[in-house]
Amino acid sequence: MWQAFRNGSTYDLRTPHAARNDPAGPYAWGPDRSVRARVIALLLLTSPPALPGRVSALKLNGAHITGTLKLAGGEIQPYVELRNCRFEQEIQLPEAHFTTLRLVGCAIPRVEAARLQTQGDLHLPRCVVEGGIRLTDAHIGTDLLLNQLVVRPDRSGRSISADGLTVAQDLQAEMIEAVGEVSLRGAQVGVSLSLRGSRLRNPYGARALNAPQLTVGRSFYLTPLGLAGSPFSSGSTPPYGMSDTPTRGTPVQHFRCEGGIRLDDGRFGDVIDFDQARLVMADDQELSLRRVQAPELRFLGERPEGGRVILSGARVVNLVDMSTSWPAAGDLTIAGFSYECLIPRGHFPLTRRLDWVAAATPEYAPEPYEVLAQAMRGSGEDADARQVQLAKQRRRRETLPLAGKLWGYLQDWTVAYGYRPGRAAVWMAVLWAVGSVYFAQHRPDPMKTGEGPHWNAALYTLDLLVPVVDLGQDGYWNPHGAAQWAAVLMISLGWILATTVAAGASRLLRRQ
């Protein structure tokens, strides 16, 4: 091993029997495959010089590493790559400095690496870690690769503790199986964070993924991963702007989370993608997206099983969603949630969108309706925006006392709260015709005999209905009894109908 280190070559201790080379398998490994951990530490911390023309590196394959590997606070300059190794005890790397560290397909009791720093990558793919991984405040110079990792919880119920973690480029945790809480509080990822095809489960606490104040430079994927025949099945991140969804017919493994997810106050540079995600939560658990900010939210997963979805205070530009992805009434909260553009997938008519708003606001609040109407207007759908405003008024009417409800029903029945000016014009025409017939049979007396204009029932009725225009009839006649009440009714309804028609005409002129 010492000579292989100086030579930069791999020291391979595997046997010809493939089944006996599985570090997590049931077979015992004899002393012929054992390497003492303190010898590895000695080799890395007090490195012998490389052979002439060679670059020293520690490369082990199939070794049984006995004892505790203690490198805390050490400066490790050589490249380190351990493949298919079985560790007898935990790895201790707090405050250690590496260039690149790769542990591939290893069986490890626990990884203790708080404040670890690497100039290059940190890789733990296909490893089995029984007692959790701690990467609190670690700094990874390029990529953190955890694909196909199997990790179980530590004493506090956490599988991965990475609060304050900084990754300069990508964090790939695809197809991992984590039992216990994955904690990424305050973590920062320079490019993309991918949990495609992963399965998170926490039977010990409320959350399977706890990542408030998470910052991701581009995309956060909680989507399926193609198992075969997919261009991204090898674990690579798709090029920026390209869809990461496997093509139809490709076998996939969906992202599945059993437990709550907390992403409060997160900042994402491109998209949060829940495409085909499967969320299983207890009634007291949440998918919490409070105050997150992202250019796009793709809520395209399966309808959550239990739990609640909270979007209070979240701000996105594009909301891409399906009607079948949102939870049932009472399990969704969108107070303060703002979006600029709606991009529905599948059948999502306006009536169902209004039901979505109503289900998310058990008590009347005007803001969700205003946000939806603004998004409709931004997409050029003015008729739908007016329909949303009408639905808002109808919802508000339910909170009013009896007198307010009656007045609201009258407005809704006549002019639809002003959002249907065409209906107001029709009502004016009907009232004008009825009033013309009525006043032709119930002619009022002149105010002064011989000074009034020629009596015209049609003009008199129109003068009452359009009180802002003087047609030369209203001021010369004095109705009595039933005619007087009819005139008062005409004037009252005329104000409502005329202003509604005028407002509709004004909106039409502004659009032109």
Place of tokens 């179980």: 152
Instruction: Determine, yes or no, domain membership for 476.
Output: yes
**Which residues, other chains included, contact 11 with Cβ-Cβ below 8 Å and sequence gap of 6+?**
1, 4, 5, 59, 60, 61, 63
pLDDT tens by residue, 366-406: 899 999 999 998 888 888 888 888 888 888 888 888 887 77
pLDDT tens by residue, 327-362: 988 899 999 999 999 999 999 999 999 999 988 888
Q: Does residue 147 carry a pLDDT above 60?
A: yes
What global pTM score does this model have?
0.81
Q: What is the mean pLDDT of the chain?
A: 87
* Straight-line distance from the first to the last Cα atom of the chain, in angstroms, rounded to the nearest whole number: 81
> Would you state the pLDDT for residue 39?
94
pLDDT band at 452 (very low <50, low <70, confident <90, very high): low
pLDDT tens by residue, 417-433: 556 666 677 777 887 78
Instruction: Determine, yes or no, domain membership for 152.
Output: no
**Helix/strand/coil for 253:** strand
> Would you state the pLDDT for residue 506?
61
CB-count exposure of residue 297 (10 Å: 0-12, 13-18, 19+): buried
Can you read off the two tokens belonging to residue 115? 């404040």
Q: What are phi and psi of 280, to 5 degrees?
A: -120, 115
Are 281 and 260 in contact, with CB atoms under 8 Å apart?
Answer: yes
Instruction: Determine, yes or no, domain membership for 175.
Output: no
CATH number of the domain residue 451 falls in: 1.10.287
Count of domains in the chain? 1
> Would you state the pLDDT for residue 330?
84
> Would you state the pLDDT for residue 89?
96
Instruction: Determine, yes or no, domain membership for 427.
Output: yes
Amino acid sitting at position 425: A
The region of weakest confidence among 155-164, 258-267, 434-443, 500-509 is 500-509
pLDDT band at 63 (very low <50, low <70, confident <90, very high): very high
- Interhelix angle 457-465/482-511, rounded to 10 degrees, is 60
Q: Does residue 461 carry a pLDDT above 80?
A: no
Instruction: Determine, yes or no, domain membership for 335.
Output: no
Bigger pLDDT: 492 vs 157: 157
- Distances in Å between the Cα of 206 and the Cα atoms of 167, 262, 279, 287, 413 are 26, 10, 13, 11, 49
> Would you state the pLDDT for residue 260?
96
Instruction: Determine, yes or no, domain membership for 140.
Output: no
> Would you state the pLDDT for residue 392?
87
Total Cβ atoms within 10 A of residue 406? 12
Are 276 and 304 in contact, with CB atoms under 8 Å apart?
Answer: no
- Interhelix angle 382-397/366-378, rounded to 10 degrees, is 170
> Would you state the pLDDT for residue 197?
95
Instruction: Determine, yes or no, domain membership for 66.
Output: no
Print the domain residue range for 488.
419-511
pLDDT tens by residue, 185-233: 999 999 999 999 999 999 999 999 999 999 999 999 999 998 654 434 4
**Which residues, other chains included, contact 308 with Cβ-Cβ below 8 Å and sequence gap of 6+?**
281, 285, 286, 287, 327, 331, 332, 333
Instruction: Determine, yes or no, domain membership for 330.
Output: no
How many Å apart are CA 427 and CA 259, to the nearest integer?
A: 57
> Would you state the pLDDT for residue 407?
67
pLDDT tens by residue, 97-133: 999 999 999 999 999 999 999 999 999 999 999 999 9
Mean pLDDT along residues 479-484: 73
Bigger pLDDT: 369 vs 408: 369
Q: Does residue 503 carry a pLDDT above 70?
A: no
How many Å apart are CA 512 and CA 506, to the nearest integer?
A: 10
